[in-house]
Structure 1
């Protein structure tokens, strides 16, 4: 049975740089809550559920794109950066949602997608209608093809979504670059007009009161001069954990852009922030969060670490070492809208090693074991100093939809690879709010619509079910988030402790000792008071396999 926390010290005064220690909740708007019954979540749905988010105990929200878009890549193909797509509402509804969040004590970060625009953006339409060498074409990456008549792509670059990264303009020798889908044309960030336009976009949202930006593909804006062939191996988002990147990623000139943006954000009050989606090795990642650039960078090497105590200890220490060199906090993350939910990643035979691709055609995760490990992992993630991100539904223990029929898939990756890569739809399924309601309460009472199908298993993870269960994953997250805040762990330090065996990760942060047993065998615990535990049956000084506790560091 859960034991109560010991007498606790008064909470320390918060660092005015809120982002240094914040827990930020990622909302994927089309899958969070639907207010109008069209099967797609919207801004009013977020506003209507703000009390749930405030009660969870997070500090801020990050919203994936809600801008005007043809939705070829679920909104990451932006047609207008300074308007709301009617699917999600309008600018007035955005302002109401933002105001409600601020009234609830929550900061709001919005997604910015600067690497590419939709092919339906007014700029790209103008480029297609303009001659070779025009100013309109120079905003994008147009090049002459190789071969006698320009019939071959300008170089050998491949799209991250499959196939060539180049598309030919019909009837010409001109091609345009798209590192993602054909409907996502890469911008030319060496063009001053592009830079000026995004400064205007930053100011537009900052003037409305947003607290910061998550920058999509932050390592990809600048390409190597001359666009040479890629001779390197290309992994997730173009970067393997061992450091391969290629001429389209992580070019030094990209940092000039973020230094310029930092100056803009510094003109506004309230510590406006930026977080980089930069799939780069840890030492390179730290370069994005130097004092005059961004504030945070997602720690993808941490997300990619297999379920192994030694591996986690190594990547955590490496992150702390590298980020401390630039005076920045580490930013921990286990799941997001681009990778298999970690509840399912941790339930396969090689836990934590499959970032994408679990489906009907692959090994099926052990749902019980995956959830058990996921509940244990939050004691590690939220026990560490710095900032942490939670992906919507993670607080419910929600699994990946690994049984989705392929006919429902919408991710362009699935279509560009002819089904070889099933894409990311499985982690983007709409949330279950009510176990016995149509569409599990995702929309209005009588709505059965959801843009992606929800599996039957979602009934047992529904929020109304977990709200009634004191041992649910939702109850666990609320407790751990409250304790993290109470003990000010985000502003602490890691002191490594020797565990009972090599499968146990054990560290101290301020007055909390975290013990995470990643093995299968039960191990003894220190003779200290448990203040939170991943399983209700932990007792008698023993910690079962794949479970975790937080303990008060001082004997009573």
Structure 2
């Protein structure tokens, strides 16, 4: 039994003895109730027929977010880039990738979004630059101050043999994190791709430069930033070797080592705090009451993640439904106990007065419908949407889109293309980055081009937005209805109880005096179970009405029916949202 599974089991046993009730921090800022939507620009909507998505394509589809109830759209890197690592290899932080459009197009998108009441945040990528960035090109010539913007080392001699400074590995499993530059007779550090050169965050000039980047985009009226790769900014100054892990992998694989020198260093935290201070000072200097927020991305153990709250990070992303702690450990979502444990672990560890958040999918990992099965996706979406806090979703997940099979020849992901035709599928991120499925026309309505940059999933004929909007019941409509319940007072201010029921059901109750309670029940197993809510939740009314149900178990035919709280039958993999009469 894994340590994480054992932890969840202990929580479950404890909860069966004494119900856990969490008080909710009443949201006062817009971002605290966010439904945030990640748009993978290249695959969302093509406006000019070249087969690739762009900013004008997004602008043409803003009504989709309004209709669904999304409050904020998040754009991954929009910057000028050689596109070796999907745009995270940035060659100019204050220019727009010409594949996506122009700076004017970006401004028009932000303006149009704001007119519809939508917020816009963008990725801020401060760990590295592209090796084609002007700073690095000057650094290779030894020109200061640019040479000192990066992390360099002359290496270590073993007799007459020059070797790397240490055994550090890059995250992309390519082996050493050091690359030799003849002109400088030195190695530079790259925690990610060899084409992504780590910035030296011990140099205050780097902070000045990156604050200027933030200011540039703040001037363009963005509403916040998602801060990329926060565990990796600063490395140990001693350059000590990292120790061998217990993983049975090749020595070039990132998880071959324990990353005690290159990840989660204490110097990382004040950097984020300083960026947030800069953003706040900028806003104050404009003399308005606009509220901007930041959120951080990093795959780490819970103790490291929670520290970000203490350094003015509005919230660190909660990836526990995707990854368990470290980036190499896939999340375990096999049982109701696992789901229950993820909810409780976050709420138990989150500092008082902070805002929770929940993430089911993103651009780096397989789609939630593929990972847990379509028959379970409605229930998990209902539960995370009706828990307190921010919910972040990946484009297409609202439709139940699944990963697309792509051949070796069809693959574009740089990391996968560097692999072999037998191992590429283990690395490629292309299967979940295929075009958004708008309708059943050419290229699923994504483009007028019949051969888009990645092929469309063949299931687009039935799995598409137009079809799901017309259907009586669909993944899209279930998510839309769950989002609507977030506008209720009980969702905003009510307590939350999370329970493991009969070892196979996750139950969530949101209650507030004078308001109709919300109850979510998801049966994670393939057997029918009857639930008596009196054994788990106090204060519920005797009868509850069915508001939302998954589309596979047959429950959707019972929408509007009344259930006795003491006897609710959940079919296999069935999930439901129930509403009660006003609490006493």
* Pairwise TM-score range, normalised by the shorter structure: 0.7 to 0.9
Tell me if the contact between 1:162 and 1:417 (Cα under 8 Å) persists in the aligned partners: no
* TM-fit CA distance, 1:498: 5.8
Cα gap change, 1:406/1:18 in structure 2, threshold over 3 Å: closer, same or farther?
A: same
Residue of structure 2 equivalent to 1:104: 116
Deviation of 1:417 after TM superposition, in Å, equals 4.3
Q: Identify which of 398, 401, 407 aligns with 1:398.
A: 401
- 1:308 alignment counterpart: 335
Where in structure 2 are the equivalents of 1:75-224 lying within 5 Å?
75-130=87-142, 134-147=144-157, 148=159, 151-163=162-174, 164-170=176-182, 173-224=185-236
Indicate the larger mover: 243-252 or 370-379: 243-252
Quick check: which has more Rg, 1 or 2? Answer: 2
Q: Do residues 262 (structure 1) and 262 (structure 2) align?
A: no
Quick one: distance in 2 between partners of 1:261 and 1:234? 37
Q: Summarize the Cα distance change of 1:145–1:15 in structure 2 as closer, same or farther, 3 Å threshold.
A: same
Deviation at 1:145, TM superposition (A): 2.2
Aligned twin of 1:363: none
Q: Does 1:506 align with 2:532?
A: no
Match of 1:328 in 2: 354
Alignment-derived partner of residue 444 in structure 2: 440
Unaligned runs of 5+ residues in structure 2 are 1-24, 248-252, 284-288, 323-330, 512-516, 534-542
Measured in 2, the distance between the counterparts of 1:414 and 1:293 equals: 36
Say yes or no: does 1:253 pair with 2:262: no
> 1:181·1:412 contact (CA, 8 Å) conserved in 2?
no
How far the C-alpha of 1:119 sits from its partner, in A, is 0.8
1:467-546 alignment, distance < 5 Å? 467-487=469-489, 489-497=491-499, 499=501, 501-510=502-511, 511-525=517-531, 527-535=543-551, 537-538=554-555, 539=558, 541-546=568-573
Change (3 A) 1:555 1:196: closer
Match of 2:242 among 224, 227, 230: 230
SS in 2 for 1:319: helix
Do the aligned partners of 2:171 and 2:191 also contact (CA within 8 Å) in 1? yes
Number of equivalenced pairs: 510
Asked if the contact 1:199–1:261 (Cα under 8 Å) also holds between the matched residues in 2, the reply is: yes
- Is contact 1:116–1:187 with CA below 8 Å preserved after alignment? yes
Q: TM-score, normalised by structure 2?
A: 0.83
**Structure 2 matches for 1:11-30, cutoff 5 A?**
15-30=27-42
Distance 1:207 1:282 in 2: 35
Which whole-Å CA distance do the structure 2 matches of 1:88 and 1:149 have between them? 50
- Give 1:138 deviation, angstroms: 1.5
- Structure 1 distance, partners of 2:211, 2:161, is 36
Relative to 1, partners in 2 of residues 1:71 and 1:142: Cα closer, same or farther, differing over 3 Å? same
Tell me the C-alpha RMSD between the 2 structures. 2.5
Contact kept, 8 Å, 1:387 with 1:490, in 2: the verdict is: no
Q: 1:213 to 1:173 in 2, by over 3 A?
A: same
Equivalent residue for 1:425? 430
Match of 1:282 in 2: 302
| Contact 2:474–2:551 (8 Å) recurs in 1 | no
The answer to which of 260-269 and 512-521 deviates more is: 260-269
What is residue 374 of structure 2 aligned with on the other side? 371
- For residues 188 and 39 of structure 1, what CA distance do their matches in structure 2 show? 38
C-alpha displacement at 1:488, in angstroms? 5.1
Aligned equivalents of 1:466, 1:74: Cα separation in 2: 30
How far the C-alpha of 1:181 sits from its partner, in A, is 1.2
The separation in 2 between residues aligned to 1:416 and 1:176, in whole angstroms, is 21
Residue 339 of structure 1, aligned match among 354, 357, 365: 365
Measured at CA, do residues 498 and 85 of structure 1 come closer, stay the same or move farther in structure 2, by a change above 3 Å?
closer
Kept in 1: contact 2:191–2:232 (CA 8 A): no
Return closer, same or farther for 1:152/1:498 CA change in 2, 3 Å cut-off: closer
Moved more, 87-96 or 527-536: 527-536
Give structure 1 regions of 4+ aligned residues with deviation exceeding 3 angstroms: 13-16, 147-151, 170-173, 232-235, 415-421, 490-493, 553-556
